Amino acid sequence: MSSLKKRSGSGAPKPHIELAYSIPVPIGRQGSAEVEIRVSSRRRNSSHAHLEEGKVVVVVPSFLSPDEREEVAARLARRILAPSKRSVTSSDEALMARAVELGRRHLDGVRPASIRWVSNQTRRWGSCTPRERTIRLSSRLATMPDWVIDAVIVHELAHLLEPSHSARFKQLCERYEKSGAADAYLLGFEHGTTTAGMPLGPLPAEPWAGGERPEPEPIARPVRHNARYSQLEFG
């Protein structure tokens, strides 16, 4: 039985989330998992699922019926939680092992003091504190391809050798052969989530009855920051 509630809780309010509720979803031999469904007025055509504090969260468009929401949520949750689909870096321990291997392979053996998943980085893909040699990755990356996660890890490891985004830093990142492809992947993801399917140019011409076509309202454009892997910002 699902628990239904208006969106509330800790953290900054999200006006585009109209409703949030949880349902149990059977996951093969693993039993069932609690999945949170968030109904968003900002999503137009597609749904999105991610891990948040160990729970699957599925964001769906507001036009879906309750049955359609639950069907989509169950399908995406099973995709994320299926053992064959889980990332090789799904735990903090696996993340450290991967960082050590990537540092050895691409960055002359550099390794962090710690690297872990965090759920409070909603505006960054990752961050690094060079002085403490610690790295944090947003849990929203956990459902992305391993080669994209690897690129973010290399980006943060490179900060242990070069704290700024200098030319040397860029050269260090490019030692990972899929760095450019990961850039494109994450920028495409950013575009899809920040524009919610809305056009970024003038509205198409339409036949307007009874006079001249009214001026279209300004369309908000996503703000680009300096960071390469940023949804809005990347350390």
Written as tens digits, the pLDDT of the chain (235 aa) is 343 333 333 444 466 788 889 999 887 655 778 899 999 988 877 888 887 766 788 999 999 999 999 999 998 888 877 654 445 566 788 889 999 999 999 999 999 999 998 888 877 899 999 999 999 998 888 878 899 999 999 999 999 999 999 999 999 999 999 999 998 988 887 765 554 444 444 433 433 333 444 454 444 444 443 444 443 344 5
**Distance, CA of 61 to CA of 17 (rounded, Å):** 10
154 lies in a domain? yes
Last residue of a domain, one of 56, 81, 106: 81
Last residue of a domain, one of 53, 81, 109: 81
**Distance, CA of 45 to CA of 71 (rounded, Å):** 15
For the chain, report the end-to-end CA distance as a whole number of angstroms.
41
Asked if 73 and 96 sit in the same domain, the reply is no
Strands 55-61 and 32-40: parallel
Asked if 110 and 65 sit in the same domain, the reply is no
Read off φ and ψ for residue 140, nearest 5 degrees. -70, -15
Tokens representing residue 213 in the block? 């076509």
List CB contacts of 147: < 8 A, sequence separation 6 or more: 178, 181, 182
Asked if 77 and 99 sit in the same domain, the reply is no
Asked if 7 and 59 sit in the same domain, the reply is yes
**Distance, CA of 43 to CA of 77 (rounded, Å):** 18
Range of the domain at 17: 3-81
Number of domains the chain contains? 2
Asked if 19 and 64 sit in the same domain, the reply is yes
Global pTM exceeds 0.95: no
